Chains A and B, each alone.
Chain A
Amino acid sequence: MADRHRLTIRSIDPDPRGTSISSAAAHIGIVLADPVVVADVIHVAGTLDDDQRTRLAMAVADPLLQQTSWDPPASDGIEITFLPGVTDTAADAVLHAADQLGIVLTTAATARRIEFGPSLDIGVADDVVRRVVANSVIERWGHGLVEPPHLDDAPGHADAELITIRGLDDDGLRGLNAERSLYLDLEELRAIRDEYEGLGRDITDVEIETLAQTWSEHCAHKTFRAIIETTGGPDGPTDVTPLLAQLRACTDSIDAPFVRSAFVGNAGVIEFTEGTTIALKAETHNHPSAVEPFGGANTGVGGVIRDVLGIAHRPIAVTDILCFGPADLPLADLPEGALHPRRIREGVIDGVADYGNKIGLPTVAGAVLYDPAYTTNPLVFAGCIGTAPSRPIHDGPFPGDRVVVLGGATGRDGIRGATFSSATMDATTGEVAGASVQIGDPIVEKLLIDALIGAEDLYSAITDCGAGGLSSAIGEMAERVGADVDLDLVPRKYPGLDPWEVWLSEAQERMVIAVPPKHLAAMQARCDRVSVRLADVGHFTGDMRLVVRHQGHVVVDLATGFLHDGRPQRRMTAELPTPNRHDATGRDVAEPAATILALLAHPNIASKAETIHRYDHEILGATVVRPLVGAAADGPADGVVLADPGAREGIAIGIGVNPWYGLHDPEAMALAVIDEAIRNVVAVGADPDRVALLDNFSWGDPRRESTLGELVAAVDGCCAGARMYNAPFVSGKDSLNNEYVGADGQRHAVPPTLVITAIAHVPDADHCVTPDLAEPGNVLILIGQTETEFAGSHLDFVQAAPRNVGVVPAPDPDAPETYRHLHAAMRAGLVEACHDVSEGGLAVALAEMCIAGRLGAQVDALPHDDLATALFSESSGRLIVEVPSRSVAAFMKIMGRAATRIGEVTDDSLLSIVGVEPIPVDRLADAFNPGGTR
């Protein structure tokens, strides 16, 4: 038995982590009298003499920054260590350092030590740690000196179990379903039972877990593939085409020349410029982010980057759209078992930043939304874009190809994530879901990218290991060919794993490729160069069976046909919504100037600078239009533009999302957010005729007929919008069951949340357009029509809404043509600045342009007789454009009736709108971003 040693490392200057604990504690009403000290603890086991201890301490700490001690601290403190199996990259670094120094260690682990000072009550200290510091899903803690987990502690036996399924009646099947948390429907359980009765044997635990993952809502998209009978429509009960088939048919009918692959594989693929393809994908990671915000968001980003890598493209940028409960939610209103929205927000943003920054990708486009409905169901949408030289998409695997797993080792992390994602949450979710949440290791994934980019000719098929782990990755690859794999060849983090755990683990940073045997050595050499682990775990067979072995026994033997096509198609019923489309209602606004300031300060509209600065948006040097623009780099950009430093052409990314419209009219919401995403890219200079779309639906439980009806309506709107703009969907993802059952038994669902991502071609990245006002004397022109459309508007968040909220913005049928004209005007060099009109209406858009340019605006011609409508209605299809006066005639000639002059840019630093008290630009900026540019 080796000796155990513990090294405590303290910062010489105040550690900022201590300050952030104090401030987080203050937010939950606990004022800490003494400064909080955070120290790092390194535990090592090995036979070490004093000299070795000194050298090791010198290698892991800097004497200018830190003090170290091998003696246990005498002061009071709480120590936090990871639970067994949770990724501990710092421990890996300790082992690496020791190895370099020639010091032999048997194990290493790291911990955090929090010292609150002598005056704090132990119970209060515990409370602070539990609520704002540690997370029981991945960590454990205690007072005094806490030993880290020893990996040989991991329990587990190592055989597949046989489960009796033959002869089970419905109750028996339901019992099995609950016992193993399978989340399958009764019809699906019956189909499995019938299959095994036909086979004349019982099912192994590995097989039933494989089926539960493959048939989960998360993997199988059962709702999007279901036959849905709708009620409440004009024609009475009607069967509608499955939703996914509708979206695919819509893309097919648009027949855009730039689409290379849509709704197949891990990501959509388009080609705007001959010779370079672009892969795009957006994913959700909602449930994990609710229980472990950092790890959930972290691995969400890691997962979507692997999706792009999983279609053989080099990732070049990340996007994130985040939905949280109110940051100032009173503690008394926080449901039992839920984390406070502020903590979720901090953890999620840190998680996104940590992964994106470390893997070396710019996190460029995004949105942050707040609504009480997201308190128990925060939403995290992460997207990734990649590029590659054009080449045929891999069409393997072929019989004889090796099944090769690349990347991290497998542990008991992320077990049953796919089924967990498909379940409803309640107060106990955080406790039971522990094993479903993981911590990412972005450096391992960076090395995977290095190993795989450039190796495209060495493999015949590739996919990422995401939900369902190997079961899903290898299972999907084997669908049309079959595979035979041996679990004993899968690298483990530690012993004691059950076979089904190895097969299902969602351990992060792994890819599966099919490698023809002749290329295996070359692939191995590439992996060796960058220290990526390669495991050859079996081969693709050609016999259409999925066979998995463990210690010489067959633990899975499934026909791939049954695995992938044996699931009975779901039949569902949807009650279509009946939105108000005709009874528009206006608003009374007593003090428009105060209202403008209130809107600018609303969390959904206010500056997101604090978040944006935590993301590296500069790496790769391709960011041309940033998320923050203007004189003080604090104005919100519409879309972002990426273009290689030497390239003329680029791509624009735009986001559209508005769940508040969805509450009133999901179909109109879909049209509005497609319009918003497209408007965002057009505003920066993208070509409206070359736009591809991604859809991401986060919805409540689709088994509730009204909820499914809202989904059907939104998909209708998506298809209508895509056709209207000739902008095809190329990929998408749905996350359903975003619900929480409170202690009172009440269900809380998220509002219908559809995120649209638009990726568009920018023909001339040297001449992009931004919203910052440029030059006093230039003319301001409004494009599009302003109607009285206030349902779901942000005006209704800053003042009471009337009983009849009226209508949400309707689509503008002229918008596609208008955007083409605007693009032509931009190409002709007539446009100095441009900004879309969205949440908060024309007044907020004008204010943002003034803030961005630190210039004033004089608006003397309003687009509607009713002041409230003119200023605050959120009608779709509108943009404000700044045009030099000498260019106005040419601009108007191109735009035709769609454009109206509303005013001009001034140098008096005032936003002066007719009928509104003038507001100094400084006051606008203060309301929008109270902390300055930080």
Chain B
Amino acid sequence: MSRVRALVIAGPGTNRDHDVNDALERAGADTRIVLASELIAEPALLGSAGLAVVAGGFSYADSLGAGRMLALDLALGIGDALRSFVADGRPVIGICNGFQVLTAAGLLPGALGHNAQGRFDCRWVVLDPVPQSVSVWTTGIEDPIHCPIAHGEGRYVHPDPDSLFAAGQVALRYRSTNPNGSVADIAGVCDPSGVVLGLMPHPENHIVRRQHPRHSRGGGGDAHLGLRLFDNGIQHAKGL
């Protein structure tokens, strides 16, 4: 079976595009980084892809709110193409700035506000997959995912989190430490169909065991790799 073609979408100031590109490659995808401007000029690139990522970073320097300008570019430039990509069931993941972009573009519910403590924060967190979630990215993952956060605007805001839980749209929750004041400890949400996932933490920075801060003391391990999310996304794309 041929490899899944993955697109990593980057805007001006996206900076974890290479990290997630490496993760997808390690998970077995045929992957490339494409600028939003290139994608808008050539939407056919999206047509030939089986999976898409909006990568993390500081697109447009987070000016006027994280992710807003890149969301505007994508919504106005290829909004329809993105919606039909999702309607086909092809998996999309937005990480950190990519999550902010997808909420601002209306592909995911809610919004991301300034961290409750008022500062950028970088630390490792533990994410519990929510068993009832419809997300194709977390299907079958029972062990918590360990990976770092690195953001200043990661406080997930939603007017009715209970409805998200009820609809199976909460995919990941922070365990024990809620690092940014997100409502109901929500770390990752998906769209009602489960193919679009957004999360603030960086699973792409835990793709080998050595990246775990406690790896030399028995911490982490294969079951907790962030890579598992990408394995899942690629598996789903393969099954389409």
Contact = CB atoms under 8 A, between A and B. Distances in A.
Interface of A: 11, 13, 15-17, 19-20, 42, 59-62, 64-66, 89-90, 92-94, 96-97, 100-101, 353, 357-360, 441-443, 446-447, 529-531, 613-621, 623-624, 626, 629, 631, 633, 643, 645-646, 765-770, 772, 774, 933-934
B216 A621 contact: no
A62 B58 contact: no
B159 interface: yes
Contacts of B60: 89, 93, 96, 443
A824 to B, nearest CB: 19
B13 A619 contact: no
9 tightest A-B contacts by CB? A360-B15, A16-B118, A93-B63, A64-B111, A443-B13, A618-B148, A616-B150, A90-B63, A358-B58
B19 A619 contact: yes
B118 A613 contact: no
Contact of A65 (B13, B38, B157, B205): B157
30 contacts: A16-B118, A20-B118, A64-B110, A64-B111, A93-B61, A93-B64, A97-B64, A97-B72, A100-B73, A360-B15, A360-B16, A442-B13, A443-B58, A446-B12, A530-B12, A531-B37, A613-B123, A614-B120, A616-B120, A618-B122, A619-B19, A619-B205, A621-B204, A621-B211, A623-B211, A624-B211, A633-B124, A772-B217, A774-B217, A934-B117
A11 B15 CA distance: 27
Contacts of A631: 214, 217
Interface string B107-133: 000110111111111111000000000
Nearest to A59: B72
B173 interface: no
A89 B61 contact: yes
Contacts of A770: 216
B219 to A, nearest CB: 9
A442 B63 CA distance: 12
B191 to A, nearest CB: 16
A15 B72 contact: no
Contacts of B113: 11, 13, 64-65
B150 A529 contact: no
A619 B68 contact: no
Given A65-B65, A96-B69, A619 B208 contact: no
A624 B122 contact: no
Interface string B48-83: 000000000110111111001100110010000000
Contacts of B15: 358-360, 446, 619
A60 B62 CA distance: 11
A768 B57 CA distance: 29
B104 interface: yes
Nearest to B152: A357
B122 A97 contact: no
B229 interface: no
B65 A61 contact: yes
Contacts of B29: none
B18 interface: yes
B231 interface: no
B122 A615 contact: yes
Contacts of B115: 16
A531 B213 CA distance: 37
Considering residues A61, A96, A529, which has the most beta carbons from chain B within 10 angstroms of its beta carbon?
Answer: A96
Nearest to A648: B210
Contact of B213 (A621, A633, A769): A633
Contacts of A618: 122, 148, 150, 202, 205
Interface of B: 12-13, 15-16, 18-19, 22, 26, 35, 37-38, 57-58, 60-65, 68-69, 72-73, 76, 104, 110-111, 113-124, 148, 150, 157-159, 202, 204-205, 207-208, 210-211, 213-214, 216-217
Contacts of A614: 119-122
B208 A59 contact: no
A13 B38 CA distance: 37
Nearest to B23: A621
A629 B214 CA distance: 8
A620 B64 contact: no
Contact of B122 (A92, A617, A629): A617
A531 B12 contact: yes
Contacts, number: 153
Nearest to A853: B217
B76 to A, nearest CB: 5
A358 B60 CA distance: 10
Contacts of B13: 358, 442-443, 446
A441 B19 CA distance: 23
A529 B122 contact: no
B149 to A, nearest CB: 9
A16 B120 CA distance: 12
B122 A645 contact: no
A352 to B, nearest CB: 11
Contact of B19 (A621, A629, A633): A621
Query: Which of A42, A616, A643 has the largest count of B CB atoms less than 10 A from its CB?
Result: A616
A659 B57 CA distance: 37
A101 B72 CA distance: 9
Contacts of B120: 353, 357, 614, 616
A765 B123 contact: no
B226 to A, nearest CB: 10
A92 B63 contact: yes
Given A93-B60, A531-B12, A646 B208 contact: yes
B117 A16 contact: yes
A528 B218 CA distance: 48
A443 B16 contact: no
Contacts of A94: 64
Contacts of B38: 529
Contacts of A359: 15
Contact of B65 (A20, A62, A626, A629): A62
B116 A16 contact: yes
A15 B114 contact: yes
Nearest to B116: A16
Contact of B207 (A621, A623, A633, A769): A621
Nearest to B109: A64
Contacts of B76: 100-101
Contacts of A13: 113, 157
Nearest to A353: B120
Contacts of A620: 18-19
B18 A357 contact: no
A364 to B, nearest CB: 11
B111 A62 contact: yes
Contacts of B104: 62
Contacts of B119: 16, 613-614
Contacts of B110: 64
Contacts of A20: 118
B68 A60 contact: yes
Nearest to B204: A621
Nearest to A40: B64
Contacts of B62: 358
A827 to B, nearest CB: 15
A15 B210 CA distance: 38
Contact of A645 (B63, B158, B159, B210): B210
Nearest to A16: B118
A836 to B, nearest CB: 18
Given A59-B72, A645-B210, A619 B16 contact: yes
Given A60-B65, A100-B76, A770-B216, A529 B19 contact: no
B93 to A, nearest CB: 17
Contact of A621 (B72, B118, B205): B205
A55 to B, nearest CB: 10
Given A614-B120, A626-B213, A360 B64 contact: no
A114 B104 CA distance: 27
Contacts of B158: 64
B34 to A, nearest CB: 11
A442 B19 CA distance: 19
A754 to B, nearest CB: 29
Contacts of B116: 16
